Amino acid sequence: MTKYSGGRPGFREWIDKQADPGWSLMPLTHITKGIRAEDIIRTGNVRVYKDEQITEPTAYFFYGRPAYRVSGDGAVKVEAACPYCFVFDAGLILKAKSIHAFDTGAFANRLYKHILMDEMDVQDFSLEREEKRPNRLIARVFPSMKTYFDGGVTKAATPEKGADAWEFHARAYLQLLASPGRNEPDDRICSIEIVFGDAVPLEGNLKAIVVPHTLWSEDAKAPWLEELNKKGVEIAPYIFVPLRHPEHYHALLETTVRDLYIRWEIF
């Protein structure tokens, strides 16, 4: 079988047919549980790590969208188990190790196998390190940057109209976005993944962090968040009421990030 360094070029050629929309780059997001968020803040960086499927230590972010879901069983009882979202300056993408059209972890776990052929490699969907391709991909697929942020796959280009029959990977990607059913992968199928090979320092890169309101209110503030705030990092709280499902808190977190973007005039 023919091997391509960096994956087959067809998907990138399809993206590059889209003119640069002239949009500003979107911030990068990194979501984790509160227990780990405190570690990140105290150490001053998002560390790289090695998992079973990746041979080299890496750190994973998403382009614009707060897409990652924290794992857990049942209702969230305490703030340490809540999702926290670090929002990084858009320019950080220039230091990325790689960029992909979707969540590569889900690809590795074969969550896309109902659409993507076994012969298709994850690198076939690489955007390489070209920082203009994320916005080109969004403009190729969605009517607006805000639609991408909202995960509006019902408004995405259809496989038949969005790509020609010979553009195999583009067709497969659009079919993945259009695939219906309650057991389909979540909105990470349309979330552009940004991968780093080195630890990402908070200093000079972090714009904001989204946290439960019980850590940042008029009555009480976490000391380690106060230290961040003194350095110019915005602390954006969402309402935490115990014993809700993790998806409930993720929805509140996403709304808070959207409000930040509107105020920052991202879209």
pLDDT the model gives residue 168: 98
Percent of the chain with pLDDT over 70: 95
- pLDDT number for residue 200: 98
Say yes or no to pLDDT of 5 above 90.
no
52: confidence class by pLDDT, cuts 50, 70, 90: low
Residue 85 has pLDDT above 70, yes or no: yes
From CA 162, how far away is CA 164, in angstroms rounded?
7
3 pLDDT band (50/70/90 cuts)?
low
Q: Are 201 and 45 in contact (CB under 8 A)?
A: yes
pLDDT value, residue 71: 79
Alpha helices in 168-219 (DSSP H): 168-178
Strand order in 83-88's β-sheet?
126-128, 98-100, 193-196, 59-63, 28-33, 83-88, 206-212, 234-238
CB-based contact 11:168 (threshold 8 Å)? no
Q: What is the mean pLDDT of the chain?
A: 94
pLDDT of residue 37 exceeding 70, the answer is: yes
Structure tokens at 224: 């380690």
User: Residue 65 half-sphere exposure, CB side, CA atoms within 13 Å?
Assistant: 27
Give mean pLDDT, residues 44-69: 89
Mean pLDDT of 22-26: 97
